[in-house]
A = this chain, B = another copy of it.
């Protein structure tokens, strides 16, 4: 295990009706709030009204920034920063999913920075926020884990770059996780969320660092997704299933299972290139890419981790041939995603091989090194993309 510093100060209010905590939390630290929302579903399903009731109860002023899209755009972030400055906003409340939260985080950092907030996304610049507005979340889809971590991913439309940045200042001070707020997420996006959660676990699980406790917990979260994934897709109002998936989504990417480990993140690097250019759902892209990434990196050197995965997560007979276990585990992953209604191939979401070379170049150029479990060259990335066609 490598050395690490672990600190997750976000207060999570988990369960039915927990939105009631919003007024007390805001009273503690806000005078004027920017409420960030997405495409309108929070208004359609009454969640926005629940939140506004709390904001009014706290006697706090608010302004709105609505219309944040999936794969959130830098342009919306700029709009939010401008509003915050003009309106002297001192707290940002994200009401939505990962895209809304990531936009809120980036606005929070941008308000306190004199330069262009995109600077933080360019690794070469080596810049980190020195200050940020505090943010809170009311989560409406289980997927990204952004509600409990310090990262944000934003797409710059003109250059088609989708990049990430992070800072401890961006970890939400509170997050409301009410599983009932996810009842109205449709089957496709529910499934994409489950794939996203599992992909986050894969990125931390597939590693050469020995970290037994973390890895068994990672398997616990994968088993939770495998057990409840089909249920949330078929019975969207099953509270226990929604609750387990929601809590798994936060724990999958709040640092817990990745502490002290070298992590991979190659599948995410590749997927970000895809969704930057083609604007597909992140979880859908990951469901297509991750099993092919697995197949590509499987070798005599990496097989140990695949054996753990196959035996501990999928219950494959440990007496089988090693390579057979590894391949069966990968097959089962692929089939599981498909069973949730997610596509297997990029062609199913209208992506051709036209820009694969550019994507591979961009990924390796930006990250310097793509993947740690196995470092990927441009050629490797193109190969994984071709496997996914």
Contacts and interface: CB of A to CB of B under 8 A. Distances in A.
Interface in A1-39: 1-18, 21
Given A213-B247, A247-B213, A251-B213, A14 B3 contact: yes
Contacts of A12: 4-7
Contacts of A240: 1, 210, 212
Contact of A14 (B6, B224, B244, B247): B6
A214 B192 CA distance: 23
Contacts of A223: 212, 216
A218 to B, nearest CB: 8
- Most chain-B CB neighbours within 10 Å: which of A6, A15, A16, A248? A6
Interface string A210-237: 1111101101110110011000000000
A50 interface: no
Contacts of A15: 1-4, 260
Contacts of A244: 1, 211-213
A321 B220 CA distance: 26
A243 interface: yes
B216 A219 contact: yes
Contacts of A221: 213, 216-217
Nearest to A148: B6
Interface string A246-278: 011001000010011000000000000000000
Contacts of A210: 240
A207 to B, nearest CB: 14
Given A15-B1, A220-B220, A243-B1, A248 B7 contact: no
Interface in A364-379: none
- Integer count of this chain's copies in the complex: 2
Contact of A216 (B5, B11, B224, B243): B224
Nearest to A209: B240
A204 B114 CA distance: 49
Contacts of A211: 244
Nearest to A214: B247
A5 B1 contact: no
Contacts of A4: 12, 14-15
Contacts of A227: 212
Contacts of A8: 8-9
A216 to B, nearest CB: 3
A251 B6 CA distance: 12
Contact of A248 (B5, B213, B256): B213
Given A212-B224, A212-B240, 6 more contacts: A3-B17, A6-B11, A7-B11, A14-B259, A212-B223, A216-B220
- Among all A-B residue pairs, the 4 with the closest Cβ atoms: A3-B15, A216-B220, A9-B9, A7-B11
5 contacts: A5-B13, A9-B9, A14-B260, A216-B223, A217-B217
